[in-house]
Amino acid sequence: MTAIVDPALAADARRERRFFLSLSLPALFIVGLAAILPILWIIRQSFLTTGGEYTVGNYEKVLSSGLTWSALLTTLELSLGTLVICILLGTPLALALASARPRVANLLMAFVMLPLWTSILVRTYGWLVLLRRDGLINAALTGSGLTAEPLPLVYNFTGTLIGMVHYMLPLFLLPVYAAMRDIDANLVRAAASMGATLGHVIRTVILPLSAGGIFSGSMIVFIYTIGFFITPAVLGGGKVNPLSIRIERTLSTFQDWGSASVLGILLLVLMALIGVMFLAARRLMARNKVGAAHA
C-alpha cells in the first residue's frame, strides 16, 4: 500500500530543512576550514625537501623504512587489542547496567564515567604508579604470595594496553548501553516464556538487537586508538612505538617535517580505510537484516 503524502506538508518539511541547514552553514564552514586546511598543509609538506623543492623522496624514504611498518603493526596491535578487551568487558557491563533498576544503573554509570572527568595525563601517570615494579599492584601480589617477584606490568605493551582500555571502555560502553536499554523487555520475557535459557536469550535476542550499538562503540574505539600518543609515550617507556610516537620523534629528533608529514598522511589514510571498512560492514549488516525480515 502506497502512503499518500500531502504536497503542502512535504514543501513545509523541505523549507524547514533548508532553514536549519542555512543556520548551520557558518559553523560547517569554520569546522571545514579547521579540518581541511591543516590536511592540505601536511600534504604540501610531505612533498617538500628541507631546501623547499618538491620531491617524492620523503615518501620513498618513509615507506622503505622497516621502522615505519613496525610502527604501523604496533598501532594496529594496540587498537585491535583495545577493541577486543573493550568488547569482552563492555558488553556484559552494558547488559548489567541495562538490566538494573534505573537508580542503580545511574549510580553505576556515574562510576563508569568517572575516568572521563579526569585528564588523560593524570590517569596515565596514575596507572604508572599502580603498575610499576614497586607500585601498589606488584606490592599486593608479592605481599600476598601470589607472585615471587614483581611482574613487568609497565614500560611494555601490556601496560600500554591497560591504560588504553581504561580510557576507551566508557566510550565503548555508552552506545552499547543505549542500544540495550532501548530493547523492548517484552521480547526478552516472550523468549523466556517459550523456554529459552538466559544464554540463548542473550545470543538470539539481546546481542542481535544491540549489534548497532556494539558496532558504533567498536568504530569509536578502533579509530580513536589509532592516534593515541600520551598513553604509549608514558606507559610504553620508549619500547612501544606506534605511528604517533614515530611522528613525534621524527620532528623532535630530526626536525624532518617532510617525513613526519608522510607519516601523518599514512595515519590519515589508515583511519580513512578503517572508517570505510566499518561503514561498509554496517551497511552489509543492515542489508542482510532487511533481507531476513522480508524472507
Distance between CA 54 and CA 136 in Å, rounded? 54
Which pLDDT score is estimated for 221?
94
Q: What is the pLDDT of residues 118-169, one digit of tens each?
A: 888 899 999 999 999 988 899 999 988 888 899 999 999 999 999 999 999 9
Nearest by Cα to 225 from 171, 178, 262: 171
Residue 44 lies in a domain: no
Residue 6 has pLDDT above 70, yes or no: no
Give the domain range for residue 188. Answer: 53-289
**CATH code, 269:** 1.10.3720.10
Which pLDDT score is estimated for 87?
94
Place of cell 549489534: 211
Residue 248 lies in a domain: yes
Which pLDDT score is estimated for 66?
93
Which pLDDT score is estimated for 1?
45
Place of cell 502512503: 3
Distance between CA 131 and CA 257 in Å, rounded? 35
Distance between CA 236 and CA 175 in Å, rounded? 29
What element of type H or E holds 52? none
Q: What is the pLDDT of residues 265-279, one digit of tens each?
A: 999 999 889 888 888
Residue 62 lies in a domain: yes
Nearest by Cα to 266 from 58, 55, 79, 51: 58
Per the model's pLDDT, the better-predicted residue between 6 and 245 turns out to be 245
Residue range 86-113: average pLDDT?
Answer: 89
Q: What is the pLDDT of residues 231-287, one digit of tens each?
A: 999 999 889 999 999 999 999 888 889 999 999 999 999 988 988 888 888 787 777
Q: Which of 28-37, 73-82, 148-157, 279-288 has the lowest mean pLDDT?
A: 279-288
pTM for the model: 0.85
Q: Mean pLDDT across the chain, nearest whole number? A: 87
Residue 29 lies in a domain: no
Q: How confident is the model at residue 3 (pLDDT cuts 50, 70, 90)?
A: low
Which pLDDT score is estimated for 293?
47
Residue 130 lies in a domain: yes
Residue 223 lies in a domain: yes
Residue 92 has pLDDT above 60, yes or no: yes
Residue 23 has pLDDT above 70, yes or no: yes
Provide the number of structural domains found in the chain: 1
Residue 217 corresponds to which cell in the numbers above? 562503540
Q: Give the Å distances, CA to CA, from 99 to 8, 131, 184, 203.
A: 45, 33, 12, 16
Residue range 1-11: average pLDDT?
Answer: 63
Which pLDDT score is estimated for 59?
94
Q: Which of 96-100, 112-116, 178-182 has the lowest mean pLDDT?
A: 112-116
Contact in structure between 265 and 43 (CB atoms under 8 Å) = yes
Q: How confident is the model at residue 289 (pLDDT cuts 50, 70, 90)?
A: low
Q: How confident is the model at residue 291 (pLDDT cuts 50, 70, 90)?
A: low
Residue 5 lies in a domain: no
